[in-house]
Structure 1
């Protein structure tokens, strides 16, 4: 224990970050990444439309669980072992864990890449979207590079240094924007230029302009996917160069005073023991997107066979001219995933940073049996996550249509299809955003089995809802959010209860969830009313949306301040927290 205390103190003097400092670094990077991502996905949706986004999102929905495995699951396992080793003063173990993980993850990435390339056609046919085969195959290299980066990210996160992860994410986002849009635009224009000159699109005869546009979309979508593969390679190169030129914070003195590293076999066994359940949990988190991918288009086809007129009546004015019945499932799926899911994923992407930052802190305090620090970190993360997730989810519920029209102004038809779906997904946002940090903290206290079990149980609920609801012609794609709400409602309620039981935490429910919920309702109502007022000839629709968001956000902040919704312990953990705390205390605004 003495070695561990010395190891902790030595690293604290260097580049270790507190839970909230690390979370803020990752959150700042995530905001930048999401802004850049919006500059990528929004123009891409405007370029490709619902049909092209259907192909793109088929590949992306398959890639997401594999990428999460590489960039969330595997780094978590490395981070947990490295943080525990440092806490116990075994810095040589931490170094060896990094080297072992690099070898293991490179092998995993190679297998994943080969499987994705060779299985692209079979997978695309199985989900009812054979046109996506090229896009799926092109995504393969991204799995390899994602696994490569996971060892570097996990090692630095275990040392409580979130900066390398944050910077590499920004590098990837910039490269994805530049190469993805460039490749997609070039291949789209090149294909249409070939049609204008020869009447063919990449060697396939096109009978009309509409036919040519349909033929070029699978290739243009694959170009956008190729940009993602290139971006992961850029992120890998950045982390490799940084590791080579920058110190990691472990000094020669610490290595010299550290006990001899355990054998590779023992550490490898420990790594796999931690990695397997964590990776299963990480992959299972994306289970709902895989369920959507595997069920939505197939069940939409069933709905069309049963009563095509009901769906045509519902979307008749929103479907492209000349679209056949067989193309409607891909178009609706592309509108749902390319527009609604893109907005839906923004909030969980922010709150997952809290879990990433909390995991090494909770792991190290739990490893040395510092239960007071463990409880303090867990309660803080739950409070901060609720403060972010609740108003965001309720705001999306209130302004789903205006938000989609703001972001996808040139795709009014797809936005109209996605708006009713996104409205109910706003409620699911709260549950998904809260569940991610809870899962990370369960992994940190040695209960990685709980997220796996709960997400599999939730996945069955989601699959059942999709199977039953989407095949009903009058419901169709609108049934997808119902399963997501029920799925994550089950996951969060049971997982949170187990986390509290394992750690002995008695949550202050009113302070943690009650005040943010009341403030969030007020925020949503104010935003909805403000949009109604501003859109009546005062501002344009897009300016009205921005003004409504500002009004709702302002109300939320004021409510929390005057109801003392901010807790002093949380504020003190922020950079410059002492100064902020003194100012808020002066006016009696801290809880």
Structure 2
């Protein structure tokens, strides 16, 4: 009974963590739309130059370090070691502080050089401010990790949502303030400050919960025979790389786009504005990827090496199901956004600038969703190092392509470089999976039905958009956009079912499942 209770609690906790992650990611993507509206393309460019650093700090504090700490906690439990100050808290905190302190020192002292590489030395104070966030990570990471190691996911979930809410309110407030005083570069410092205050909020929430649930054990405990440094470095940094794919690609764009544009004759102010327009694609990619990978990631915890050896058929089903859901949603989201991009651009960002290359950038949603889903599967199969090296390879490829293509093809080159780099990750993951999941099995994915449904949906949406009269006012435009998006989603889902991409057992758990099953050609199938 006790085992059932604890496994039920673990599933509930994992669901909570997924839900809070979803809320956090939607908030994180969503606030950048009003931010661009308030601060304009130049203000948005300044924030996006700093954002990858803030995003990486957040990933380490949410995924990397807590996973490492929770692993240490469970290893110590297995050894029968009590978590005392001497046996656990001091060494774990010291290692976390050492790593984060080193990142801060390096970043803070090199901020001027980094700004020069970005082609904009006025970014130096913003970059310096951003690296301060790393000094606050040890507290949140340690407490989240201890709770997760005890199977308690609620504190991580609550603290994450609180942190994001504070960040969002602060950054929007900062944007309103700096546009009023006219010192637009302060938006980068404000972004860093909002992250710092968000992290402090998370620390307070976690400390209150920790005081309520935990106590330091008194007395000396035997020093554990496990390596803190190896676990924290290896799990903390390597696991995190898989979550950082999109952030690292944005970092490469921050370092290369403006210098490359200036080199081919843009005046610096135009280059910054163009980069700001290009960055409009990032929140949309983030929302699309979250949408496509969240459902799939719910299946992924069921994929472990132990289960694979014990019950290979069931794990095959989980892997195939996770990738299939991710593929179906990502194709629909990418096709819909590409078709409706002029409308989306006008609605969210107030004009149609950059529609051509931003449409190409939307293809990233398809590959990034598959990459995240597959890397989580590979982690379950204990291929953490492999996936980390693939990410590093993709970032190097993106950098080289940016240097080559941005000068040659402008922002179309930057968009294509992102697509190629993320597609490279998917290709490598397919090859890495092939010992557990043969290449031939991917032929079972409903390729024809999915492409047919996506093309048909795009054609209908394109025809409706072509016939649309001018709509006055953003509210009217928003209502129209929501109606046409809902229509597109309905057409896509109905066509997927009619063309045989979804089976009865996959439809039944969905909302209105009984009604959807009736759409299957030839009635119900098993």
Quick check: TM above 0.5? yes
Q: 1:68-103: per-residue Cα shift (whole Å, max 9, x none)?
A: 3443333444566778x69xx949579799856555
Cross-structure match for 1:318 = none
**Is 1:499 matched up with 2:433?**
yes
Between the aligned partners of 1:498 and 1:235, the Cα distance in structure 2 is: 37
Structure 1 residue corresponding to 2:268, chosen from 312, 326, 341: 326
Work out whether residues 73 and 281 of structure 1, in 8 Å CA contact, stay in contact via their aligned partners in 2: no
Match of 1:459 among 369, 376, 395: 395
Cα offset for 1:381?
1.8
Q: Is the 8 A contact 2:256 2:402 kept in 1?
A: yes
Structure 1 residues 506 and 476, CA gap change in structure 2 (3 angstroms): closer
Contact 1:352 1:436 in 2 (8 A): yes
Matched, 1:263 2:219: no
Aligned to 2:20: 29
- Counterpart contact for 2:64–2:235, Cα < 8 Å: no
> What's the counterpart of residue 286 of structure 1?
247
Please report how far the alpha carbon of residue 11 of structure 1 lies from its aligned counterpart in structure 2 after TM superposition: 1.8
- Aligned mate of 1:336, from 254, 257, 278: 278
How far has the Cα of 1:394 moved from its partner? Answer: 1.3
Alignment equivalent of 2:458, drawn from 524, 546, 551:
524
CA distance in 2, matches of 1:291, 1:530: 37
The separation in 2 between residues aligned to 1:291 and 1:55, in whole angstroms, is: 15
1:35 Cα offset (Å): 4.8
Residue of structure 2 equivalent to 1:17: 11
Distance 1:261 1:270, change over 3 A: farther
The structure-2 alpha-carbon separation of the partners of 1:457 and 1:93, relative to structure 1 and needing over 3 Å to count, comes to farther
Q: Any conservation in 1 of the 2:296–2:325 contact (CA below 8 Å)?
A: no
Q: CA deviation at 1:456?
A: 2.7
Gaps of 5+ in 2: 215-220
1:399 corresponds in structure 2 to 340
Aligned with residue 369 of structure 2, among 422, 428, 433: 433
* Residue 570 (structure 1) shift: 5.6
The answer on whether the counterparts of 1:530 and 1:551 sit within 8 Å (CA) in structure 2 is: no
C-alpha deviation, 1:398, in angstroms: 1.0
Normalised TM-score (structure 1): 0.75
Moved more, 127-136 or 540-549: 540-549
Partner residue in 1 for 2:218: none
Q: How does 1:189-204 map to 2 (within 5 A)?
A: 189=180, 191=181
Q: Deviations over 1:386-418 (max 9, x none)?
A: 232121111111112211211122xx2xx413x
Aligned to 1:177: 168
Change (3 A) 1:503 1:537: closer
Is 1:298–2:233 an aligned residue pair? Answer: no
**Are 2:10 and 2:152, in contact at CA under 8 Å, matched by a contact in 1?**
yes
Q: Is the 8 A contact 2:160 2:202 kept in 1?
A: yes
Cα deviation digits, residues 224-253 of structure 1 (max 9, x gap):
331122112222322333344359xxxxxx
SS of the residue corresponding to residue 217 of structure 1 reads coil
Give me the CA root mean square deviation.
Answer: 3.9
Change (3 A) 1:94 1:143: farther
Q: Is the 8 A contact 2:68 2:145 kept in 1?
A: yes
Pair 1:94–1:440, CA change in 2 (3 A):
farther
The match for 1:54 is 45
Q: Secondary structure of 1:16's match?
A: helix
Q: Structure 1: give runs of 5+ residues left out of the alignment.
A: 1-5, 192-212, 248-259, 309-324
Q: Please list the CA deviations of residues 157-214 of structure 1 after superposition, one character each: whole Å capped at 9, or x if unmatched.
A: 667765444433321221112222223323443x3xxxxxxxxxxxxxxxxxxxxx4x
Contact kept? 2:22, 2:294, Cα under 8 Å:
no
Of 68, 74, 85, which aligns to 2:59?
68
